[in-house]
């Protein structure tokens, strides 16, 4: 097993993946055990609703941190963890939604429809969840091949907007103390801001570099319109 | 000349350096000890906690519904001065000293007075009032309060004819409470005078037959069972009778969400929660919310002719 952090061997990478997988399961296991032991406080349904929502948000932000981290550290294998992290974010979102439908509303469809229509924080939360579904459904190699890299990538860029909706969902839920949602908003702003900044740098670079001679041109993904 | 001046501190009194350097650990441990002690305390059968027992008489105004567990009532609290998570007050409210404590009753009254808390406790016979408590967030409890009608206190100070409202102010000490202006401290609440004089409105000084725990608003709090919980101000230091409707903390924070009246009303939705149903703490499924929290028979008359959608 290679111990090089820069270019881990296949075996090391598998081990890292297994560890991340288990780490992502820990919050869920913790809640499940807490539920069984009746150790989730006076309002356990509120506790698991809240916790599953927060872990969705955290995992979304961690997923969004992969690209900047990879670029800053040069650890390109981090990209290999992104799909799993994104799918875990979706799994926690699905659990959050299921808890709401089942334990909170007990499938009272009328009340659920009214909630989605009348309560802005539920409207945006619901929208964020629905928009995550196509991303989760195309988080596999087959979908990437079918869609083609370019189209797959533009579809998956919608995660930026989804993360914003998720933070707004939390912000609007809070009654008065917005400190916690503000922290998430700040982190998200950093993660999106660094992308915007790098994109701007790339745009400037492309504008300043004279186009190569015709015979040297390779297909490049241009972000500056021709 | 050398003046021999005795050292200010005896060598025997100096904390050994090794211990001094572990002072945080000591604090953390004693904190953990306190929590363990509290856990033990709550684990004891009710009669073993007799130290703080209060003498009470039952009240015909009590509900016969099953009580919410003592542990839930004392660990699931909204008392933002001690933190916005519902488990924060039980952890932090112990910092508040509830003796000495005075309650000033002032404003439009014939006999303004400052009540020492121990005199306040003797103002009227203590009753057990088992009330439903409905939080604006959509959960509810059944709590055996100990207290006496607010009317008994108001009678003592002789409200003037011009008094129309009663304002309540909560103790605020930035040294031990939240400093961030999450709400406009000190927490203020208010009632119309006829609401304040209603026999259901009480000043509570205890629950479950014992002195009120700090996180529940010790040493004295308001309980108005037909209104959302936030109307029932905790740890009261000032009661002021006014002619103008007093500003209230949540109304100032979000006027479109929290009105002055804030009567429990399943037909008037809060922008963020349907108020049609509620979850009784300890139960899994929601139950329908009752008009005026089930006290319509006693209080509906107070609001005759008022549009409760407008005066929410």
| Domain segments of chain B as ranges | 54-253
Q: What is the pLDDT of residues B158-215, one digit of tens each?
A: 999 999 999 999 999 999 999 999 999 999 999 999 999 999 999 999 999 999 999 9
Say if CB A105 and CB A117 are below 8 A apart. no
d(C-alpha A193, C-alpha A157), whole Å: 14
- pLDDT above 50 for B49: no
Could you give the C-alpha distances from A212 to A26, A205, B223, B249, in angstroms and in order? 52, 13, 79, 67
Q: Which among A42, A45, A177 is the nearest to B75, CB-wise?
A: A42
Phi, psi (5° rounding) for residue A105? -105, -10
Could you give the C-alpha distances from B72 to A121, B8, B32, B42, B142, in angstroms and in order? 28, 50, 21, 11, 10
Residue B189 bridge partners (DSSP): B168
Tell if the CB–CB gap between B272 and A46 is shorter than 8 Å: no
Say if CB B279 and CB B288 are below 8 A apart. no
Phi, psi (5° rounding) for residue B205? -125, 0
B77 to chain A, minimum CA–CA distance in Å? 10
Contacts of B269 in chain A (CB under 8 A): 118
ipTM of this complex prediction, to 2 decimal places: 0.83
**Closest C-alpha among B48, B224, B197 to residue B129:** B224
Q: Which among A114, A119, A179 is the nearest to B271, CB-wise?
A: A119
Contacts of B180 in chain A (CB under 8 A): 177, 179
The model's confidence at residue B272, banded by pLDDT at 50, 70 and 90, is: confident
For tokens 């119309």, the residue is B192
What pLDDT is attached to residue A65? 98
What pLDDT is attached to residue A209? 81
Q: What is the mean predicted confidence (pLDDT) over B251-258?
A: 93
B155 to chain A, minimum CA–CA distance in Å? 36
What pLDDT is attached to residue B40? 46
- pLDDT above 80 for B155: yes
Q: What is the mean predicted confidence (pLDDT) over B24-51?
A: 47
What pLDDT is attached to residue A122? 95
Q: Which among B139, B183, B285 is the nearest to A176, CB-wise?
A: B183
Chosen CATH of B54-253 out of 3.90.420.10, 2.60.40.10, 3.40.50.10800, 3.40.50.720? 3.90.420.10
Structure tokens given for A88: 């875990």
**Closest C-alpha among B119, B99, B121 to residue B54:** B121
The model's confidence at residue B11, banded by pLDDT at 50, 70 and 90, is: very low
Q: Does A115 touch chain B (CB under 8 A)?
A: yes
- pLDDT above 60 for B41: no
Structure tokens given for A200: 């701007």
Residues in chain A where the model's pLDDT stays below 70: 1-4, 212-226
Tell if the CB–CB gap between A176 and B274 is shorter than 8 Å: no
What pLDDT is attached to residue B273? 83
Local structure of residue A5 (DSSP, 8 states)? S
The model's confidence at residue B262, banded by pLDDT at 50, 70 and 90, is: very high
B175-194: b or e for each residue (b if 16 or more CB lie within 10 Å)? eebbeeebbebbbbbbbbbe
Taking CA–CA distances from B140, the nearest residue in chain A reads A43
- pLDDT above 90 for B297: yes
What pLDDT is attached to residue A224? 65
d(C-alpha B229, C-alpha B267), whole Å: 17
Q: Does A152 touch chain B (CB under 8 A)?
A: no
What pLDDT is attached to residue B91? 96
Of A58-67, B3-12, B268-277, B291-300, where does mean pLDDT reach its minimum?
Answer: B3-12
Helix (H, G, I), strand (E, B) or coil at B122: coil
Q: What is the pLDDT of residues B88-114, one digit of tens each?
A: 999 999 999 999 999 999 999 999 999
Helix (H, G, I), strand (E, B) or coil at B288: strand
Give the Cα-Cα-Cα angle B274, B277, B283 (nearest 5 degrees): 130
Query: What's the mean pLDDT when you consider all of chain B?
Result: 88
Q: What is the pLDDT of residues A166-216, one digit of tens each?
A: 999 999 999 889 999 999 999 999 999 999 999 999 999 988 887 766 666
For tokens 């009532």, the residue is B73
């Amino acid at each position: 097993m290679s111990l090089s952090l820069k270019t881990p061997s296949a075996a090391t990478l598998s081990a890292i993946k297994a560890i991340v997988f288990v780490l992502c399961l820990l919050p869920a296991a913790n809640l499940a055990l807490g539920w069984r032991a009746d150790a989730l406080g006076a309002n356990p349904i509120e506790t698991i609703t809240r916790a599953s929502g927060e872990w969705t948000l955290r995992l979304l932000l961690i997923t969004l941190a992969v690209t900047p981290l990879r670029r800053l550290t040069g650890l390109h294998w981090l990209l290999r963890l992104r799909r799993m992290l994104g799918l875990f974010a979706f799994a926690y979102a699905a659990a959050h939604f299921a808890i709401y439908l089942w334990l909170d509303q007990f499938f009272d469809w009328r009340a659920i429809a009214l909630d989605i229509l009348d309560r802005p924080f539920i409207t945006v939360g619901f929208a964020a969840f629905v928009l995550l579904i196509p991303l989760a459904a195309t988080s596999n190699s087959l979908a990437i091949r079918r869609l083609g890299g370019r189209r797959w990538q533009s579809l998956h860029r919608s995660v930026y907007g989804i993360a914003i909706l998720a933070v707004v969902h939390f912000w609007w839920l809070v009654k008065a103390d917005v400190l916690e949602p503000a922290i998430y908003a700040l982190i998200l702003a950093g993660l999106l801001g660094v992308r915007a900044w790098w994109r701007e740098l790339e745009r400037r670079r492309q504008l300043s570099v004279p186009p190569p001679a015709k015979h040297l041109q390779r297909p490049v993904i241009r972000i500056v319109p021709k | 000349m050398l003046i021999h001046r005795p050292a200010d501190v005896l060598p025997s009194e100096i904390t050994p350096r090794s211990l001094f350097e572990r002072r945080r650990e000591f604090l953390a441990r004693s904190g953990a000890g306190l929590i363990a002690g509290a856990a033990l305390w709550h684990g004891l059968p009710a009669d073993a906690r007799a130290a703080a027992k209060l003498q009470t008489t039952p009240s015909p105004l009590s509900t016969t519904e099953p009580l919410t567990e003592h542990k839930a009532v004392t660990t699931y609290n909204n008392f933002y001065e001690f933190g916005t998570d519902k488990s924060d007050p039980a952890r932090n409210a112990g910092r508040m000293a509830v003796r000495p404590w005075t309650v000033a009753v002032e404003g439009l009254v014939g006999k303004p007075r400052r009540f020492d808390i121990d005199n306040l406790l003797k103002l009227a016979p203590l009753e057990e009032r088992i009330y439903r408590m409905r939080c604006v967030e959509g959960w509810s409890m059944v709590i055996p309060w100990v207290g006496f009608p607010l009317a008994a206190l108001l009678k003592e100070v002789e409200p003037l004819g011009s008094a129309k409202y009663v304002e309540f102010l909560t103790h605020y000490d930035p040294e031990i409470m939240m400093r961030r202006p999450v709400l406009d401290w000190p927490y203020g609440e208010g009632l119309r005078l006829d609401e304040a004089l209603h026999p259901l409105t009480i000043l509570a000084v205890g629950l479950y037959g014992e002195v009120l725990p700090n996180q529940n608003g010790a040493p004295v709090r308001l309980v108005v069972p037909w209104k959302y919980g936030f109307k029932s101000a905790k740890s009261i230091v000032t009661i002021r009778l006014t002619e103008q409707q007093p500003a209230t903390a949540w109304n100032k924070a979000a006027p479109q969400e929290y009105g002055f009246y804030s009567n429990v009303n399943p037909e008037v939705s809060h922008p963020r929660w349907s108020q049609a149903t509620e979850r009784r703490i300890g139960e899994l499924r929601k139950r329908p919310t009752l008009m005026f929290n089930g006290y319509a028979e006693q209080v509906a008359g107070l609001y005759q002719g008022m549009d409760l959608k407008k005066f929410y």
